[in-house]
Structure 1
Amino acid sequence: MRLLIMLGALGLAGCTANAEMQASRQAEAARDLAKALEGRVAGKPQNCLPLSPSSMNGPQIIDQTTILYRDGKRVWRTTLASECPSLGRDDILVVEMNGSQVCRNDLFRPVDRGSQIPGAFCRFGDFTPYVKQ
């Protein structure tokens, strides 16, 4: 009986630690997004993002639903079509491109930088430009 009580207590402690870690990650993502978009105003969402290797920086993975790209003075934000559970902040994105643009609903796979193990396929959402006022 004591063993069951101890296992239950350990399970609850693990849930609490996991919830605290998730809350910490969400707070960090919110701070990073606010910092990246500070002083900027959203423009009209676009279906596609032209990728020019000479001027485009990114991606910056904010969380499992938000990715940023930078193009000169603009910051492009895409909110993914749905949560990408295998997407980590330090992952490499392997994008299936059709032409010279990345578009809404195009597929990509996050690849873990350390292990080189690819995650599940995910889809981009609209691309919203943010410019300084």
Structure 2
Amino acid sequence: MRFAITTIIGALTLAGCVQNADYQAQRDAQARRELASALGDRVPGKPQDCINPGFTDGPQIIDTRTLVYRQGARLYRNDLASECPSLAPLSTVIVEMRGSQLCRNDQFRVVTPGMSIPSGYCRLGKFTPYTRAKGG
């Protein structure tokens, strides 16, 4: 009897892992589609440490490692310094800027809808500008 219970628990645990892996694969595929849709036919430029936050929309949360900021026709892809597990669609990103620009290593926290306590700190990475190809 003990063997049967252990086997059932093991099977349920394995099934949970498979479902989690399937869910993560679906989230990753969705994130790739959203990023491709946001960037469109734009081409990347040289990554930079800071951007001017004036006239900037965003961020658009792509996944737990990627944010997109818009400045008119130009987009800035920010690949975070490390994963920020709290990032999810509809979350609010609260950045603690240390100057007049939004920069690599600035820290931010995430507030999830329905919650009032922000997440732990996450850090911004470099900003890669994306612009439309000229003469295309």
Q: Same fold (TM over 0.5)?
A: yes
Partner residue in 1 for 2:108: 108
Give the AA of the match of 2:12. L
Partner residue in 2 for 1:4: 6
* Identical positions, percent: 53
Residues in 2 aligned to 1:75 and 1:37: alpha-carbon distance in whole angstroms = 7
Asked whether the 8 Å contact 1:68–1:77 carries over to 2, the reply is yes
**Unpaired segments of 5 or more residues in structure 2?**
none
Report the TM-score, using the length of structure 2 for normalisation. 0.92
Q: Figure out how many residues of one structure are paired with residues of the other and give that number.
A: 131
Report the TM-score, using the length of structure 1 for normalisation. 0.94
Cα RMSD for the two superposed structures: 1.0
Partner residue in 1 for 2:80: 80
- Which of 31, 34, 56 aligns to 2:33? It is 31
Residues in 1 aligned to 2:15 and 2:24: alpha-carbon distance in whole angstroms = 14
Residues in 1 aligned to 2:87 and 2:67: alpha-carbon distance in whole angstroms = 10
Partner residue in 1 for 2:16: 14
Residues in 1 aligned to 2:12 and 2:41: alpha-carbon distance in whole angstroms = 45
Of structures 1 and 2, the larger Rg is shown by 2
**Unpaired segments of 5 or more residues in structure 1?**
none
The offset of 1:87, in angstroms, is 1.8
Post-superposition CA distance 1:80-129 (Å, at most 9, x none): 11111222222111110123211001100111122123111011111111
